[in-house]
Chain A
């Protein structure tokens, strides 16, 4: 423990080279699956939040279909269960720490309710740790992506919908041909940011024993009592993952903004 950072320390760290590679692989896979789950969940939640499902709609109207004057009945008739569920979900997830969510998913759901077999895939992915990690991160980022997608869709000028509908396009066609392409272009920077956040946030799953990059850092520390060298190696790897990701999305962003420039 003589030097702060030493060549010897790096040499020791790289003795774990194979594990570092595997850990990086796990980090990438964690982020990839999280993004997929988060995106599907985010779209579903956004659709739920913007839906117009009102099962008690009839309470707000009289027999002739005119709006009633009773305020309570009108308020009840506006009740949209899908939107309430989605909004509650988003607010709970956004108002609690991701660490707590991961712990609850791992120790609560996956220890008591769902029993995963202790299989190891590709020789380094432990299923009973990896799956809870992915599920927890996916549940978390789904809430954030929902808000990103919703704000993107709602930022499109209502005139676009009107123009499309006036041409005879139905709601679904309008959504897919007119609104979503513009919305996705607008939210691409926010989504890129969320992707990068997911790669970085995946490091927190080492607390439930997912053998990703940070847990390898911990292994090196435990074996050789060095910390700065493995941390620096991890820093470089995280940077090499995140920086190109944001650059790649910036490239697509430029390509998609052709219609914006004179």
Chain B
């Protein structure tokens, strides 16, 4: 693990109803390259809001998110050369892959079309090159023979595996997972987690919001516990699961383990 900070989150706040509801209440965290950060916590604790703020799917009320040295929450920010430049969020999102609870594959496109769309449209890669890359990724998750199927013809687990490699086709620097197994039938959870484990082993930086404590313990390099919009405790899986300190975490773990 390198110590270089890929994403710095500083005093992130997300308020609704003029501040009466605080989905995120002053969250700060540094995410380093190669880390697998697993965010756990009860529902409504702000963990999804936190994850979705990282690529500005959710516009934070206040605070900073510094990704690759640029504060992406600002309209204009100094670039690496120190000059003030307009922040193009689309450019930064290319480097942050995201996987959703409900897969969000494009139903009117085949699996292959789903995968080559963004590389071709956004990165301007040729169709042949994008197709080769997509087929290679599909082979890795064992779905190369389904490339011409439509999403509805796939099982939930297959859809989520496609969604993961669709994000990987953009060659992101970090992958964000928003409860990737919560909408799956129990017997399909394993195949998706296996792909994620594989990805973690290859050194991909990952931020994973999940209820899969087994995954958090086994794959996570750091586990973050959130409640009421705050990070209450963080540490190695060992620290979090065997010697939790915060009473809310102890209470939470006693219910889910």
A259 to B118 alpha-carbon distance, docked (Å): 19
A59 to B70 alpha-carbon distance, docked (Å): 29
Contact with A177, one of B18, B94, B121, B166 (Cβ below 8 angstroms): B121
Given contacts A67-B18, A162-B57, A177-B117, contact A168 B170 (CB under 8 A): yes
Any B CB within 8 A of the CB of A165: yes
B109 engages A167 (CB within 8 Å): no
Any B CB within 8 A of the CB of A111: no
B57 engages A159 (CB within 8 Å): no
A186 to B167 alpha-carbon distance, docked (Å): 27
CB closest residue in chain A, given B92: A168
Any B CB within 8 A of the CB of A63: no
B150 engages A168 (CB within 8 Å): no
B57 engages A166 (CB within 8 Å): yes
A165 to B167 alpha-carbon distance, docked (Å): 11
B57 engages A69 (CB within 8 Å): no
B88 to chain A minimum Cβ distance, whole angstroms, is 9
Residues in A whose Cβ lies below 8 Å from that of B102: 159
A159 engages B94 (CB within 8 Å): no
Of residues 161 to 205 in A, which have CB atoms within 8 Å of B's CB atoms? Answer: 162-170, 173, 177-178, 181-182, 185
Contact with A166, one of B62, B91, B96 (Cβ below 8 angstroms): B96
Residues in B whose Cβ lies below 8 Å from that of A66: 61-62
B122 engages A167 (CB within 8 Å): yes
CB closest residue in chain A, given B166: A167
Any B CB within 8 A of the CB of A8: no
Of residues 54 to 91 in B, which have CB atoms within 8 Å of A's CB atoms? Answer: 55, 57, 61-62, 90-91
Q: Mark B109-126, 1 if CB is under 8 A from A, else 0.
A: 100000001100111000
Any B CB within 8 A of the CB of A6: no
Contact with A170, one of B90, B97, B117 (Cβ below 8 angstroms): B90
Any B CB within 8 A of the CB of A160: yes
Residues in B whose Cβ lies below 8 Å from that of A254: none
Q: Quick one: which of A163, A164, A260, A262 has the most chain B CB within 10 A?
A: A163
B108 engages A259 (CB within 8 Å): yes
CB closest residue in chain A, given B123: A168
Q: Quick one: which of A157, A168, A262 has the most chain B CB within 10 A?
A: A168
Residues in B whose Cβ lies below 8 Å from that of A169: 90, 117-118, 121-122
Any A CB within 8 A of the CB of B241: no
A163 to B122 alpha-carbon distance, docked (Å): 14
B108 engages A166 (CB within 8 Å): no
A185 to B106 alpha-carbon distance, docked (Å): 13
B152 engages A163 (CB within 8 Å): no
B91 engages A159 (CB within 8 Å): no
A163 engages B93 (CB within 8 Å): no
A258 to B108 alpha-carbon distance, docked (Å): 8
Any A CB within 8 A of the CB of B219: no
A162 engages B104 (CB within 8 Å): yes
Any B CB within 8 A of the CB of A261: yes
A173 engages B121 (CB within 8 Å): yes
B121 engages A162 (CB within 8 Å): no
A162 engages B118 (CB within 8 Å): no
A51 to B150 alpha-carbon distance, docked (Å): 32
Residues in B whose Cβ lies below 8 Å from that of A177: 117, 121
CB closest residue in chain B, given A256: B108
A182 to B62 alpha-carbon distance, docked (Å): 35
CB closest residue in chain B, given A178: B106
A260 to B109 alpha-carbon distance, docked (Å): 10
CB closest residue in chain A, given B176: A166
B90 engages A168 (CB within 8 Å): yes
B108 engages A181 (CB within 8 Å): yes
Residues in B whose Cβ lies below 8 Å from that of A178: 106
A162 to B107 alpha-carbon distance, docked (Å): 14
Residues in A whose Cβ lies below 8 Å from that of B153: 262
B109 engages A259 (CB within 8 Å): yes
Of residues 103 to 141 in A, which have CB atoms within 8 Å of B's CB atoms? Answer: none
Residues in B whose Cβ lies below 8 Å from that of A262: 152-153
A103 to chain B minimum Cβ distance, whole angstroms, is 43
Contact with B151, one of A67, A159, A170, A259 (Cβ below 8 angstroms): A259
B121 to chain A minimum Cβ distance, whole angstroms, is 6
Q: Which residues of A contact B (CB under 8 A)?
A: 66-67, 69, 157, 159-160, 162-170, 173, 177-178, 181-182, 185, 256, 258-262
Q: What are 17 sample pairs from A and B whose C-beta atoms fall under 8 A apart? A: A66-B62, A159-B104, A160-B106, A162-B100, A163-B98, A163-B105, A166-B98, A166-B167, A167-B118, A169-B90, A170-B90, A173-B122, A178-B106, A182-B108, A259-B109, A259-B151, A262-B153
